[in-house]
Amino acid sequence: MSTKQEKIANFDPSQPGLADSSIYGLPFTAEESDIIVVSVPWEVTVSYGAGASLGPQSILDASYQVDLLQQEFPELWKLGIFLDEGPRHWAEKSTYYKELAQPIIEALENGVSIEDDAVLSANLAEINNASAVLNEELKERVLNWKAQGKKVILLGGDHSTPMGYYQALATQHSNFGILHFDAHMDLRIAYEGFIYSHASIMYNTIQLPQVTKLVQVGIRDFCEEEVSVVKSTDKVKVFTDVDLKKSSFEGQTWQEKVDEIINLLPQEVAVSFDIDALYQWYCPNTGTPVPGGLSYEQATYALTRLANSNKTIIGIDLVEVAPGEDEWDGNVGARLLFHMCGVLAKNNGMPTGEPIKF
């Protein structure tokens, strides 16, 4: 059997990826890979657009066409990136509980009290319990990989999926921040009765005592309840899309704004990236699109700037990529994920090669 160094020597990164390999067509096993991407194909509580549970597969499919000579991290591929597709029952339970959730959502939209319906109440409790089980299983899976010395990135699924990931980080880090790119605050409390709703992920996250700061970037849709949460704590700092654009229109550079954002974070940082933080043309099929947003280049610049700062990146998640009839969403997601792998690796002192200059 070939060693990792032999595989590196015999692999041609200029050719299309090997379709029978893991993500990006790389030839490495999980044991040989320094970066593990854990896939969580879950979207139980979606109430508008659907498809996020198919995001990881769409990214995997598109990844085989990604050129591995990335300008900022040209030797990243040599570290090895492996996609852990998770247990089959995650996808199966997502489908089952999503169907169970739809009558609850429809009842609420029609003004029906869930508490007055015994069946819907029981189903809601079952869904909340299933989500808690998912969180615990994910937590243990992440900790298992980290115990093997791997850097772990989470790939959702909807934005509820990173909860178990943050719980895993909280067992190893006593004080860390979340740098959150999103169109939405996700600070609703048990949205539609679902404790672990995609719209509640950041509210649930700031309940972890180890999470001492949440910095949100690109926000352009929120409700009164979420504003109340922000104003009730000094844990949260919000940079809305309106304010970011106003600063830019009035002369502040993106570098200056990014540095201001980074300086608000504690020493250790996890990045949460909802694809709808970007302009909608990058992710036309994401579940809850909102006009406005960041460009791809603004996002990757901010991530690289964080990688090159004095902060330590302890985790990254990418969520809410939903495929359409073409491969565009998966293509953008695959390229953004590859950049995130480079950011995590470089920030943690792993060899990614010298940036290519022309």
User: Which pLDDT belongs to residue 49?
Assistant: 57
Single pTM value for the model: 0.96
Per-residue confidence band for 341, with pLDDT thresholds at 50, 70 and 90: very high
Rounded percentage of the chain residues whose pLDDT exceeds 90? 88
Q: Could you tell me which residue, 113 or 356, shows the higher pLDDT?
A: 356
Residue 218 to residues 86, 139, 243, 325, Cα–Cα distance (Å) = 30, 28, 9, 27
Distance of CA 329 to the CA centre of its chain: 14
The answer to whether residue 181 scores a pLDDT higher than 60 is yes
Chain segment 237-264, per-residue pLDDT in tens: 999 999 999 999 999 999 999 999 999 9
Per-residue confidence band for 15, with pLDDT thresholds at 50, 70 and 90: confident
Beta pairing, strands 35-40 & 211-219: unpaired
Rounded percentage of the chain residues whose pLDDT exceeds 70? 98
DSSP state of 52: G
User: Which pLDDT belongs to residue 21?
Assistant: 82
Per-residue confidence band for 18, with pLDDT thresholds at 50, 70 and 90: low
Chain segment 259-272, per-residue pLDDT in tens: 999 999 999 999 99
Residue for token pair 């959150």: 180
Which ranges of the chain does DSSP label H, i.e. alpha helix? 4-10, 55-63, 88-109, 118-147, 163-172, 201-205, 224-231, 241-249, 254-263, 296-307, 328-347
CATH code of the region 4-347:
3.40.800.10
Chain segment 199-243, per-residue pLDDT in tens: 999 999 999 999 999 999 999 999 999 999 999 999 999 999 999
The answer to whether residue 146 scores a pLDDT higher than 80 is yes
Domain spans of the chain, in order of start: 4-347
